[in-house]
Structure 1
Amino acid sequence: MDDLPLVHVVDDEESVRKSLSFLLKTSHYRAQCWASGSAFLKDVDRSEPACVLLDIRMPDMDGIELQEKMNGHGIGLPVIMLTGHGDVSLAVRAMKAGAVDFLEKPFDRQKLLNAIDRAFAQLADAEARRDQMDAAQVQIAALTPREREVLEGLAYGFPNKTIAFDLGISSRTVEVHRANLMAKLEVTNFADALRIAFAAGMGSGREWRKGRRNEGDALRATDEQWHDDHGEKQRDTQYQHPG
């Protein structure tokens, strides 16, 4: 029995808990029932994969508040919100907060089972993404700090010249680091290196790193240097021109 998927039922009405528990058990699920959101938060086993059937209206803590607390406590179990007639606006809030689905009471048995299937599919996808992130981070840990900086810059879409400017190294050195990191990541093309970087969470922030000049600064500085160099040459030419 323990190998059956687990579904948590959080509802203050005992009759609803009993009805859902019976439906789940006869549909090859395990059911664990909770009479309140606070009891669920206190004693739920966060380590076991499961989904949550959550009543949107409960006296001590409503479904929306419980969902927010789950998110705040890092309880990443997919939620199916159970609503009464006229709770559509609350259901929309729940969906925006990450609920997989919402079902109006009384709900159709097959619709409920379909929603549970979607919840477990979402859970499997999330676990697969976590596994990919863990594997990618292990690969990136083998890089030197400078190689990680170069890969991070590439993940933000910066060209070699911009990365070189921001790191205070030459473009040629960036190319060497790029070749080395690809060898260490055991990839033969740049796209695969980027996939590993993205899986590890690189390139997802608003800025590359604090204290580094952004791409606009790099381009402006390069442009100013070009004008300085050419202006100096022009002045030298004018000075050497026979009078």
Structure 2
Amino acid sequence: MSDAVVHVVDDDADARDSLAFLLETADFQVKTYASAPDFLAALPSVAPGCLITDVRMPDMTGQELVKRLKAEGSALPVVMITGHGDIPMAVEAMRDGVVDFIEKPFSEARILAALKRALASVAPVQPAVSDDQAEILARIETLSERERQVLDGVVAGQPNKIIARDLGISPRTVEIYRAKLMSKMHADNLAALVRMTLSVKG
């Protein structure tokens, strides 16, 4: 499918091998690593492509790995996978430049779509406002003031109860607004919503 190599970092050998097999079946070149330090040790010579990393690992977490790569100026796009995702973690990951944040168990289609987006992100950045950004801005314009307030809270990484407290409404009402704004933004999941919003708001 591509000359790019997918680097998979996961301390769970079964999960690592299973994902590698899935990706190789989809015609990707794959290289696996048992830990974040193992990957960092190989970083100077890793082939171009993208990185898929688990979040919870001993020695160094996926989030710590992403921050380290960012500090070292690595341009390798990252897809993060986790069995323990939450809103603040997802938002922090997206702000650190992660292309997608996927919760286990995930479908083959979901991981392949994330991978395609990650590899596409290596292409040169388009100047000014792209068509995609214009469409996202247009969707944001359709939100009510309250929906925008809830969106701001979600993108800031706040859980529903904190957003509810700040806005003086119930957590259940926040859930209703969140469902409405995700529908209006055409976001299938939280990572997609955060990614869209950050792409136009920074």
Amino acid across the alignment from 2:101:
F
Give the C-alpha shift of residue 7 in structure 1.
Answer: 0.3
| Identity level (%) | 45
Q: Tell me the equivalent position of 2:95.
A: 96
The residue matched to 1:74 in structure 2 has which SS? coil
Ranked by relative contact order (alpha carbons within 8 Å, sequence separation 6 or more), the top structure is 2
Give the C-alpha shift of residue 74 in structure 1.
Answer: 1.6
Amino acid across the alignment from 2:59:
D
Q: Tell me the equivalent position of 2:6.
A: 7
Alignment coverage as a number of residue pairs:
127
Give the C-alpha shift of residue 124 in structure 1.
Answer: 1.7
Give the C-alpha shift of residue 79 in structure 1.
Answer: 0.4
Amino acid across the alignment from 1:19:
S
Amino acid across the alignment from 1:43:
A
TM-score (norm 2): 0.58
Give the C-alpha shift of residue 84 in structure 1.
Answer: 1.3
Q: Tell me the equivalent position of 1:37.
A: 36
Amino acid across the alignment from 2:72:
H
Give the C-alpha shift of residue 102 in structure 1.
Answer: 0.6
Q: How far apart are the structure 1 equivalents of 2:14 and 2:87?
A: 23
Q: Tell me the equivalent position of 1:77.
A: 76
Amino acid across the alignment from 1:93:
E
Deviations 1:180-230 (A, max 9, x none): xxxxxxxxxxxxxxxxxxxxxxxxxxxxxxxxxxxxxxxxxxxxxxxxxxx
TM-score (norm 1): 0.49
The residue matched to 2:124 in structure 1 has which SS? helix
Is residue 46–residue 75 contact of structure 1 (8 Å, CA) maintained in 2?
no
Amino acid across the alignment from 2:26:
S
Matched, 1:24 2:23: yes
Give the C-alpha shift of residue 118 in structure 1.
Answer: 0.4
Is residue 85–residue 103 contact of structure 2 (8 Å, CA) maintained in 1?
no
Q: How far apart are the structure 2 equivalents of 1:12 and 1:35?
A: 5
Q: How far apart are the structure 1 equivalents of 2:85 and 2:75?
A: 28
Q: How far apart are the structure 2 equivalents of 1:12 and 1:26?
A: 22
Give the C-alpha shift of residue 47 in structure 1.
Answer: 6.3
The residue matched to 1:125 in structure 2 has which SS? coil
Q: How far apart are the structure 2 equivalents of 1:45 and 1:25?
A: 24
Is residue 4–residue 47 contact of structure 2 (8 Å, CA) maintained in 1?
no
Is residue 55–residue 63 contact of structure 2 (8 Å, CA) maintained in 1?
yes
Alignment of 1:49-198 (within 5 A): 49-125=48-124
Is residue 9–residue 32 contact of structure 2 (8 Å, CA) maintained in 1?
yes
The higher radius of gyration belongs to: 1
Please tell me the root mean square deviation across aligned C-alpha atoms, in Å.
2.0
Give the C-alpha shift of residue 46 in structure 1.
Answer: 5.2
Give the C-alpha shift of residue 81 in structure 1.
Answer: 0.6
The residue matched to 1:123 in structure 2 has which SS? coil
Structure 2 unaligned spans of 5+: 128-202
